[in-house]
Structure 1
Amino acid sequence: MDNMVEKGVVDFSDIEVEKENVLPLRKGRSAKRLVNVLKQRDSELEVTRASFERRLETELSTLDDPLCLFLEYMDWLHIAYPQGGNSKGSNMLHVMERCLMHCKALECYTNDPRYLTLWLNYIELFYRDSYYESKDIFVFLYRNKIGGQLSMFYEEFSNLLCEMNRYNEACYILNDGIQRGAAPTDRLRSKFNETKLQLDESTISLPNNHLNIFEDSGQPTILNRNRNDILNASNMKIRHSQSTTVETPIYKDNQEFTLTNSIHLDAQANFELKASRNKENKRSVGVLKPESNVGTIPQFDDEGPVTTSKTKFIFNDDLGRNGPIYYINTIVGQKSEKIDCNIKLLHAKTNEEYSVEQLLALSRNVYKKSLKRSNESDLAPIKRSRINHI
């Protein structure tokens, strides 16, 4: 054991207890650093976090490579919080989105592999369960030309489209990256050929013009007539119609997603952060000062403020019942006995004694009736005997 310590070998018994709570990373984890983190207290982690936040406030605007400081901060979060970036204590989402939005305004990071990798990690970490939200982020990157010269972007985008069974779009994206000269081009070509081979083996056919099916091509024809001519002729008939009925047009949303309607539009000005998407489901947290009263929150409707009536108290009838009554039977020289029964009710207050059944009848106010019936039953044989003598 001493030799292991001298050589710096980590004793895995220190990690055995927490191994199920440690999230694996692609690049792996250092066992030595993991043991040191598990031994740290929360106060020590907060000190390191405050140090990074202080550096972001004071040094960020003066750095030649601000992305490097963010990456250093996030690497420490991955190590300090082995449960993963989704854990509440890590605050990884806030730090990562700050970095993405800050570096988006810097043109030098448009085709930086580190910046693109950060976007891919962001998708994998927080949007892995939603194909369509992941697709929206890739479309946002495409419009803003982030990673447009890197083959890694087109490879990951095509992988997502294949998982969504959008094989035509996947081939289009790969070929579009080849046409744009994304580097390394040879790797992108091999990826494109590999995807086509997999589709051929899966008996999935692609149209001959799959490279242009998402772009605005020439006017489509129907029975050798242009579509616009058919529509114009239809509009003329409607105008000259003598019908007085007016039909309200019904909006129909496209159920099928195509890159024509989304990927070739103008770049979005802002990207909606995940924290802002969930803002309706969270309640703002603030520090309440001592002896402070927030009062009643005003409520409004379409007609104005809502007037609330006075508080109505809910009547609660306990029917005069108290808790259970116990009788403590004390015996000299022995342990006292606790009896779950009101013995005093059985003891005679006058010269009259009652049994348990009689007490039950008294509680239900039927004791007198039963007594009267018993007296009548006692007199019945006497009457019968008199009749027999007659």
Structure 2
Amino acid sequence: MSNSSIHIVPGVRLAAAAAGIRYRDRDDLVLMELAEGSVAAGVFTQNAFCAAPVTVARQHLEKIPPRYLLINSGNANAGTGETGMTASFETCRLVAAATGVAMNQVLPFSTGVIGEDLPTDPFARAVPGLLSHLKEDGWQSAAAAIMTTDTVPKLASRSFTVDGKRVSVTGMCKGSGMIRPDMATMLAFVATDARIDRAGLQQVLETAAGPSFNSITIDGDTSTNDACMLVATGKSSVDVADAKTPAGQAFRQAVAEVCMELARAIVLDGEGATKLVEIVVEEAQTESQARDVAYTVAHSPLVKTALFASDPNWGRILAAVGRAGVEALDIDKVRIWLDDVCIVSKGGRDADYTETAGQAVMDKEAFTIRIALGKGQAQTRILTCDLSYDYVKINAEYRT
């Protein structure tokens, strides 16, 4: 997405710098400044080995509204014990000392290699330059700086008008591997100039994250560093707290669209991915049951490699559904489709199915696997991708 299609968010300024934390000759550190009076909401990883910056960001967010978000790539500062906590606090202290805000008004975020100590000297050298280069239109460079194995920066933006006043919602994220959501999976930062209190903002974020960031999977791995932030500066003076008002409805739709676009961008940029596949599960007893089936199919290495090969090997999908743990599954009631091509019914291959029809769907770059369980009315949908040669190569060579 070009800078011309990104709406600036009054009250938010960004800067990126090449701090040399891990990478050479590329930006790897971002500072995001929030105007005084801004509020913030967040969702974080549920991984028990959550990274030091996740712990620190949570602690700081509970105490006082943030003024700065500090994001580094290349080093996750996870699995680093007390040393990692000390480093995260120190990076916050450096920004606080340079800006005059309280240390807990700085939230740290990290992404990259797990298990390596985070050096703080690069932060000390880079912070002054970051502060001098903060600008409202710094989204593009910031999105590029937070990338690790991503191949493209990921940005999304929306705006709407209420009584002649424009409200903007703009976000960026990174993520292409170690993606399986559990309260957001990746780093994502979404900002708006709408006016809303923190409790309302938290609810909006959690609602938007459900069908977007929490409904994607690349490889079934939940990262140690996942975080998604939604900040509101209030600079537009448009109140969006009430979901029943036109402004409130437009705001929630804009946030949902930005989150969904960013989530789709993560799947499209899955490490080595060549396919974007939506898995829809219908007629389940509960949504939880539907999601269990969807993720079992999405995480099957055999299904994912068949997707990469464009091989309509429908038996792999059938087998994954059968081992998903659905109690008392009546296989005669199960139906499975590739787009609108029915591949399974009455316990086996659909009578009208042809390999030619299945192949035509599998040859597409994007399609849907739809599964009807015949047990109830609950449903869900998730996004996933294939598993390619490049996925193995990228992850095998990540530290070399």
Q: TM-score, normalised by structure 2?
A: 0.22
Structure 1 or 2: larger strand share? 2
Larger Rg: 1
Structure 1 or 2: larger helix share? 1
- Larger RCO (CA within 8 A; separation ≥ 6): 2
